[in-house]
Amino acid sequence: MKIEGSVALVTGANRGLGRALVSALVEAGAAKVYAAARDERQVLRGDSRIVPITLDTTKPDQIAAAVKKANDVTLLINNAGALNSHNVLTMSPAELDADFRTNVHGTLEVIKAFLPVLERAPGGATIANVLSLASLGSFPPLGGYSASKAAAYSITQSLRPELKKKNIDILAVLPGPIDTDMVRDLQMPKTSAADTARGLLAGIVQAEEDIFPDPMAQQMSALWNKSHKEYERAFASF
Closest CA to 37 of 49, 19, 21: 19
Q: Judged by CB, which is closer to ligand NAP: 4, or 181?
A: 181
Rounded distance between C-alpha atoms, residue 90 and residue 221, angstroms: 29
Q: Judged by CB, which is closer to ligand NAP: 30, or 43?
A: 43
**Phi, psi at residue 126, to the nearest 5°?**
-135, 140
Q: Give the residue numbers marked as catalytic.
A: 145, 149
The DSSP code for 182 is G
Q: Biggest alpha carbon distance in the chain?
A: 49
Q: Which of 7, 9, 11, 73 binds ligand NAP (CB under 6 A)?
A: 11
81 binds ligand NAP (CB under 6 A): yes
Rounded distance between C-alpha atoms, residue 174 and residue 154, angstroms: 13
The minimum distance between CB 141 and ligand NAP, in angstroms, equals 12
For the segment 142-201, give every residue that binds ligand NAP (CB under 6 A): 175, 177-178, 180-183
125 contacts 74 by C-beta, under 8 angstroms: yes
The minimum distance between CB 7 and ligand NAP, in angstroms, equals 20
74 contacts 6 by C-beta, under 8 angstroms: yes
Q: Which of 16, 52, 144, 213 binds ligand NAP (CB under 6 A)?
A: 16
Classify 212 as helix, strand or coil. coil
Q: Which of 3, 7, 8, 17 binds ligand NAP (CB under 6 A)?
A: 17
Chain residues in the site for ligand NAP (CB under 6 A): 11-12, 14-18, 37-39, 55-58, 79-82, 102, 106, 130, 132, 175, 177-178, 180-183
